[in-house]
């Protein structure tokens, strides 16, 4: 990770290092709009413990669970978020087929019962399809929200190893002071890291149990056995938690350097009255109460991001939001750790809360405070159901002030930016502007920018904030339905897994200054094919994410590419397909020209991975099937349908 910028010059330098703009264009600083930051983490917690958010209740069918989760992701997209943090290990159980721990009871109602699918694989796939990061949220020590071990499934590790656990405050916990316990917890988490394409590992604020009046944590025997060298049991407990954090950081990044590791601690580390390094607050001190030395984790660089839960309103006497935001900003300053603020969406408009939380602008005002601290790179909201509830319009007020444009995630790690993509077509039609582009290399996602008019060259300031950012996507096509009639120029950049951004593509202008060219991929709505056509991503020469294939047959059964031809005239028709020695040597392409269908046979054994011209044809105006790929050929080998490009000449 790179350290956060501190001054206007540092902000510009960081921008120019992430977006590879030619050096000659770097002379002038760009005036940016704080309401449309280019990079900002925007996320919500999706809590599964006690079915807080998802699933809404235990025992739902697979289809009902999946429909509910898709709805949460669609909510995140509609609010212009770019990540979700999903609880996958709420009570020493699992939302994936873990070899270490039982299936979670919050899925089926019965601990250890197979839900009938792999929820974590499903969640990752659905999130990435929407270009949302998925951070897997683990609670490290909590075993159960009750203290009866007999209620755990018989195979539960906490039953098989009774010396690993203790009861406290009516709940069961793993004992953080036992080295075997720490190894087991890390192994359970690392199983998800190594087997799933998650983007982050996230721990919440539950370490040692929160204090319960009149009760002592029953770990004196463990301290006597393992606490040699520590002057106090408190120092030993903190070291136990520190070891978990440090070792997880090492193991995660050794396995997958691009995976982000973050912790969301209680908002107060220590009060200044106790420790001069602490904050001007007078609340519970996580350093002393739950043995979480969160400040040390930042200073040692054991986390990629810290997301303190600053769940108090502006001006709150014991722990004011603005006081703690300034304190945490000071803590991360000069480190490589990103600061993300945990926001109490659950308080906004809720009954029983302070009067400040009945003000629809309270949450929005928090983000106005954040603007005064460049160290703050985003926010995460607890929890999803409160974002959806939008009581008193609190979240809508925030979104209207701060989330009017998309945002890239903050860049992390030390990787390089991808190569620059190239726009292959940009067509303006009644549904908006349809874009296609071709990557160079293997980026993870793309950013699409739109500028009004036809500028002679790309100004670096076009890309300095999100005012011109239209969308981010993992696809290589996009239809900008928000583009009104007029002239626009589009640019596309490529992003790595660590959100490093390439230089912008050459601009492509549409409208009065642009010519007609359209690309239809087999994944686009304009493509249709019968059930005999399979889908594959086997060949690296593919266009987009996959292509279609079918066996020859003595019947046409064509796959069709449909396009909106703006006016009658002459058009060049090109096709893209992956080639392979096992594909067809005479694949029939059908062009629905004005004078009747014309068939051109193409040898798909060679010449793949590029545009191949079928020739020029007279096409009629209107929306119709323009190019087809027929199965009717006497030669052997699969016929392939991948992409078509139609350009007016």
pLDDT single digits (tens) 115-126? 999 999 999 999
Q: Are 122 and 66 in contact (CB under 8 A)?
A: yes
Q: Are 589 and 577 in contact (CB under 8 A)?
A: no
Q: Are residues 377 and 250 in the same domain?
A: yes
In terms of pLDDT, which residue wins out, 401 or 516?
401
Chain centroid offset of residue 285 CA? 32
Beta strand 469-473 pairing with 445-452: antiparallel
d(CA 135, CA 264): 12
Residue 105 lies in a domain: yes
Q: Which of 486, 514, 542 is the last residue of a domain?
A: 514
pLDDT at residue 647, as a whole number: 84
Q: Are residues 487 and 381 in the same domain?
A: no
d(CA 532, CA 551): 8
Beta strand 422-429 pairing with 260-263: unpaired
Q: What's the CATH number where 339 sits?
A: 3.20.20.80
Residue 378: band (very low, low, confident or very high) from pLDDT cuts 50, 70, 90? very high
Q: What average pLDDT does the segment 408-420 reach?
A: 94
pLDDT at residue 22, as a whole number: 33
Q: Are residues 121 and 75 in the same domain?
A: yes
Residue 323 lies in a domain: yes
pLDDT at residue 433, as a whole number: 93
616 Cβ neighbours under 8 A, 6+ residues apart = 570, 571, 572, 573, 649
Q: Are residues 361 and 489 in the same domain?
A: no
Q: What average pLDDT does the segment 214-236 reach?
A: 97
Q: What average pLDDT does the segment 547-552 reach?
A: 96
Q: Are residues 124 and 24 in the same domain?
A: no
Chain centroid offset of residue 578 CA? 30
Residue 484: band (very low, low, confident or very high) from pLDDT cuts 50, 70, 90? confident
Domains in the chain, number: 3
Print the domain residue range for 18. Answer: 1-37+415-514
pLDDT at residue 512, as a whole number: 54
531 Cβ neighbours under 8 A, 6+ residues apart = none
Q: What average pLDDT does the segment 543-564 reach?
A: 93
Q: Is the pLDDT of residue 618 over 70?
A: yes
Q: Is the peptide bond before 55 cis (omega within 30 degrees of 0)?
A: yes
pLDDT at residue 12, as a whole number: 32
Q: pLDDT tens digits for 504-548?
A: 999 988 875 446 778 899 999 899 999 999 999 999 899 988 999
Q: For residue 61, give the DSSP letter.
A: -
Residue 350 lies in a domain: yes
Q: Which of 463, 486, 514 is the last residue of a domain?
A: 514
Q: Are residues 29 and 42 in the same domain?
A: no
Q: Which of 18, 13, 12, 11 is nearest to 414 (CA)?
A: 18
Distances (CA, A) of 480 to 429, 431, 434, 452, 596: 10, 8, 6, 13, 33
Residue 152 lies in a domain: no
> What is the pTM for the complete model shown?
0.78
Q: What's the CATH number where 599 sits?
A: 2.60.120.260
Residue 168 lies in a domain: no
Q: Are residues 506 and 570 in the same domain?
A: no
Q: Are 468 and 462 in contact (CB under 8 A)?
A: yes
Q: Are residues 48 and 30 in the same domain?
A: no
pLDDT at residue 19, as a whole number: 39
Q: Which of 402, 428, 460 is the last residue of a domain?
A: 402
Q: For residue 271, give the DSSP letter.
A: B
Q: What average pLDDT does the segment 257-263 reach?
A: 97
d(CA 590, CA 624): 13
Residue 373 lies in a domain: yes
Burial of 309 from C-beta contacts in 10 A (0-12 / 13-18 / 19+): buried
pLDDT at residue 515, as a whole number: 64
Q: Are residues 13 and 63 in the same domain?
A: no
d(CA 527, CA 477): 13
What is the distance in angstroms between the CA of the first residue and the CA of the last residue of the chain? 48
Q: Is the pLDDT of residue 9 over 70?
A: no
Q: Is the pLDDT of residue 6 over 60?
A: no
Residue 213: band (very low, low, confident or very high) from pLDDT cuts 50, 70, 90? very high
Crossing angle for the helix pair 119-129 and 62-78, nearest 10 degrees?
30
pLDDT at residue 519, as a whole number: 87
Whole-number percent of the chain with pLDDT over 90? 87
Q: What average pLDDT does the segment 376-380 reach?
A: 98
Q: Is the pLDDT of residue 26 over 50?
A: no
Q: Are residues 207 and 328 in the same domain?
A: yes
Q: Are residues 33 and 43 in the same domain?
A: no
Q: What average pLDDT does the segment 269-275 reach?
A: 98
The enclosing H or E element of 573 equals: strand 569-576
Q: Dihedral of CA 558/559/564/569: which sign?
A: negative
Q: Which of 472, 539, 531, 528 is nearest to 501 (CA)?
A: 472
CA atoms within 13 A on the CB side of 35: 9
Q: Are residues 489 and 509 in the same domain?
A: yes
Residue 268 lies in a domain: yes
Q: For residue 149, give the DSSP letter.
A: G
Residue 375 lies in a domain: yes
What one-character-per-residue DSSP string does 215-270 give? ---S-HHHHHHH-TT-SSHHHHHHHHHHHHHHHHHHHHHHH-TTSEEEE--BS-S-
d(CA 620, CA 631): 25
3-class SS letters over 453-499: CCCCCCCHHHHCCCCCEEEEECCCEEEECCCCCCCEEEEEEEECCCC
Q: Is the pLDDT of residue 620 over 80?
A: yes
Q: Which of 146-155, 223-232, 247-256, 561-570 has the lowest mean pLDDT?
A: 561-570
CA atoms within 13 A on the CB side of 531: 0
pLDDT at residue 453, as a whole number: 85
Q: Dihedral of CA 395/399/402/408: which sign?
A: positive
Q: pLDDT tens digits for 114-159?
A: 999 999 999 999 999 999 999 999 999 999 999 999 999 999 999 9
Structure tokens at 569: 């005239």
pLDDT at residue 42, as a whole number: 98
Beta strand 422-429 pairing with 432-438: antiparallel
Residue 300: band (very low, low, confident or very high) from pLDDT cuts 50, 70, 90? very high
The DSSP bridge partners found for residue 85 are: 45, 135
Tell me the average pLDDT of the chain: 93
Q: What's the CATH number where 438 sits?
A: 2.60.40.10
Q: Is the pLDDT of residue 10 over 90?
A: no
Q: Which of 96-110, 278-292, 337-351, 550-564 has the lowest mean pLDDT?
A: 550-564
122: left (phi > 0), else alpha (psi -120 to 50), else beta? alpha
d(CA 305, CA 334): 14
Q: What average pLDDT does the segment 464-491 reach?
A: 94
């Amino acid at each position: 990770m790179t350290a956060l910028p501190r001054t206007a010059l540092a902000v510009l330098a960081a921008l120019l290092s992430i977006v590879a703009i030619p050096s000659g264009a770097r002379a002038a600083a760009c005036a940016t709009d704080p309401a449309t930051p280019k990079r900002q983490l925007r996320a919500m917690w999706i809590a599964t413990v006690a079915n807080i958010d998802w699933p809404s209740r235990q025992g739902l069918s697979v289809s009902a669970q999946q429909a509910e989760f898709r709805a949460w992701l669609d909510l995140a997209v509609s609010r212009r978020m770019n990540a979700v943090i999903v609880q996958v290990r709420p009570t020493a159980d699992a939302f994936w087929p873990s070899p270490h721990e039982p299936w979670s009871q919050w899925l089926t109602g019965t601990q250890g019962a197979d839900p009938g699918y792999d929820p974590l694989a499903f969640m990752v796939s659905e999130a990435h399809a929407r270009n949302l990061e998925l951070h897997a949220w683990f609670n490290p020590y909590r075993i159960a929200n009750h203290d009866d071990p007999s209620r755990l499934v018989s195979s539960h590790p906490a039953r098989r190893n009774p010396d690993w656990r203790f009861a406290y405050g009516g709940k069961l916990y793993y004992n953080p002071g036992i080295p075997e316990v720490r190894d087991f917890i890390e192994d359970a988490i690392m199983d998800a890291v190594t087997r799933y394409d998650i983007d982050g590992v996230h721990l919440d604020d539950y370490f040692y149990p929160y204090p319960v009046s009149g009760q002592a944590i029953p770990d004196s025997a463990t301290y006597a056995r393992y606490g040699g060298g520590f002057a106090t049991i408190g120092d030993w407990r903190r070291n136990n938690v520190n070891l978990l954090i440090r070792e997880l950081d090492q193991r995660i990044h050794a396995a997958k350097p691009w995976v982000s590791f973050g912790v969301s601690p209680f908002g107060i580390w220590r009060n200044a009255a106790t420790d001069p390094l602490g904050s001007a607050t007078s609340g519970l001190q996580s350093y002393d109460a739950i043995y979480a030395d969160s400040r040390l984790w930042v200073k040692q660089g054991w986390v990629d991001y810290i997301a303190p839960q600053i769940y108090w309103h502006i001006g709150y006497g014991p722990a004011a939001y603005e006081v703690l935001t300034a304190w945490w900003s000071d803590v991360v300053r000069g480190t490589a750790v990103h600061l993300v603020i945990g926001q109490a969406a659950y308080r906004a408009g809720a009954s029983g809360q302070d009067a400040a939380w009945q003000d629809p602008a309270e949450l929005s005002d928090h983000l106005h405070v954040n603007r005064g601290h460049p160290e703050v790179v985003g926010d995460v909201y607890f929890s999803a159901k409160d974002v959806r509830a939008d009581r008193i319009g609190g979240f809508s007020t925030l979104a209207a002030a701060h989330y009017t444009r998309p945002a890239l995630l903050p860049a992390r790690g030390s990787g390089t930016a991808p190569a620059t993509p190239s726009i292959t077509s940009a067509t303006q039609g009644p549904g908006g502007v349809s874009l296609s582009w071709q990557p160079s290399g293997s980026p993870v996602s793309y950013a699409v920018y739109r500028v009004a008019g036809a500028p002679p060259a790309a100004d670096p300031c076009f890309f300095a904030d999100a005012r011109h950012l239209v969308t981010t996507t993992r696809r290589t096509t996009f239809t900008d339905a928000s583009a009104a009639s007029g002239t626009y120029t589009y640019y596309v950049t490529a992003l790595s897994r660590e959100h490093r951004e390439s230089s912008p593509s050459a601009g492509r202008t549409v409208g009065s200054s642009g010519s007609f060219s359209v690309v239809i991929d087999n994944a686009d709505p304009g493509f249709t094919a019968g059930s005999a056509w399979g889908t594959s991503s086997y060949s690296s020469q593919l266009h987009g994410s996959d292509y279609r294939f079918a066996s020859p047959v003595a019947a046409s059964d064509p796959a069709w590419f449909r396009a909106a031809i703006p006016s009658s005239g002459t058009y060049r028709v090109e096709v893209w397909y992956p080639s392979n020695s096992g594909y067809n040597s005479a694949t029939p392409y059908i062009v629905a020209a004005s004078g009747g269908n014309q068939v051109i046979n193409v040898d798909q054994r060679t010449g793949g991975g590029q545009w191949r011209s079928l020739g020029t044809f007279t096409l009629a105006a209107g929306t119709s099937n323009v190019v087809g790929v027929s199965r009717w050929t006497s030669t052997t080998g699969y016929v392939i349908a991948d992409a078509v490009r139609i350009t007016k000449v």
